[in-house]
Structures are given as C-alpha cells and as structure tokens.
C-alpha cells in the first residue's frame, strides 16, 4: 500500500485556495483511477484504489493544515507503512507556477503542513511540490496562499492537475523521476511573457 496525502484546509471556504492545491491533486487522481468513495477515516477523508495496479490510499486530512501529521501518522500506523511509502502533494512557493518537482526529505520551508508531518513521521517522506509562485514579499505570503486561484491561473493550474493525475502511476511505482518527466511532457509550453511569479527551485 502507498499513501498519497493531499494537503489543504477542509470545507468549502478553502476549496479553491492556493494552499489547497494538494487536495485538488489527489481528488484528480481519485477521479482518474478506480477508487472507492471517500469516507471519514484517520481524521480525514480517505479512499482506497488501484493506480496502475498498485494499491494506494488517498488521504485528505481534515485536521486543518497545522495538524496534518496526526492524520498521516494514524493512517501509516494502521497500514504499517514505512515513511518511504508516503507521497505528500502540496503547494510550493519557491517553484514557478505550473512547475512540479518531487523531493525526498529535507526541510519544510515554512510550510505548516509539512512541518506537522515531519514532526509525526520524521522528514524522509516524499514531497510532490506543486509550484504556485511567490507573491514577492514574505509579509504577503499568508494572504496569497489563503486566497483563491485567479481565473488566469487556471490556464496553468488545470493542465498541471490533469497531468499529475494521469501520470500518478509512476509515483505508485516509486519512480518520481519518471513521474516528473512524464508530467512535463504533458504540459503546454510556457507563455513567453514573464510575470512576477517565475522563481525557480
């Protein structure tokens, strides 16, 4: 069993926030593959299914972002999962919008959801970093992540979510490099106009 965790805040008020891109990604994976209906488990919403033949549990913690680790730990303990079986989908300020990278271990870069998971599980889980760009000022970060994606941002957001879902089988096989390559090949070429949110990793 693999555990795909989407990070976000529960409830309709937060559904379209930039901070909720992790929820959006795992919802798309659940729709793309054959998953059971969501049900309340492990302090979150969980669904089991097969992703290219590999067993996967999708989990969206309902603890709010700062306590995501409690839900992840409960699910991991129930299924006796190793930290290497966990992929966490989350928003990444330090990647340009529409970029995606997978990283194993390391710091949490101020992300409260990652900080909570690291506190409960240790740092060596896989992070699927989904770029949302940076607002340019540290003081503006909270307002930026806790606001909806703009209509224009859906030009890169929707293809990114779709590509990540269609290629999620590589993650189920623990092939993150092939996942990143396959997602990149599915994405439209970037527009030539450079905006303020073009920071790379």
Residue tagged active-site, from 19, 111, 126, 134: 19
β-sheet bridge partners, residue 130: 91, 100
Phi, psi of 13 (to 5 degrees): -60, -30
Residue 127 near residue 21, CB atoms below 8 Å: no
Judge whether 17 counts as a catalytic residue.
no
Q: What is the DSSP string of 46-77?
A: EEEEEETTEEEEEEEE-S-GGGHHHHHHHHHH
Q: Roughly what angle, to the nearest 10 degrees, separates helices 21-32 and 154-166? A: 50
Burial group, residue 163, by CB count within 10 angstroms (0-12, 13-18, 19+): buried
Task: Indicate which residues carry an active-site annotation.
Answer: 19
């Amino acid at each position: 069993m693999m555990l795909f965790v989407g990070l976000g805040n529960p409830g309709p008020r937060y559904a379209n926030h930039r901070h909720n891109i992790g929820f959006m990604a795992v919802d798309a994976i659940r729709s793309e593959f054959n998953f059971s209906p969501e049900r309340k488990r492990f302090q979150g919403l969980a669904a089991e299914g097969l992703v290219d033949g590999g067993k996967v549990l999708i989990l969206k913690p309902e603890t709010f972002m700062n306590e995501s680790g409690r839900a992840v730990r409960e699910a991991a303990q129930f299924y006796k999962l190793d930290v290497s079986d966990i992929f966490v989908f989350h928003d990444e300020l330090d990647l340009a919008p529409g970029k995606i990278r997978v990283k194993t271990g390391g710091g949490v870069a101020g992300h409260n959801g990652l900080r909570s998971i690291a506190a409960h599980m240790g740092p060596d889980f896989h992070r699927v970093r989904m770029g949302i760009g940076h607002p340019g000022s540290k003081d503006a970060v909270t307002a930026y992540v806790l606001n909806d994606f703009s209509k224009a941002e859906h030009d890169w957001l929707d293809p990114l979510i779709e590509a990540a879902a269609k290629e999620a089988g590589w993650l189920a096989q623990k092939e993150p490099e092939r996942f990143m390559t396959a997602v990149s090949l599915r994405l439209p070429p970037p527009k030539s106009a450079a905006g303020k949110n073009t920071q790379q990793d």
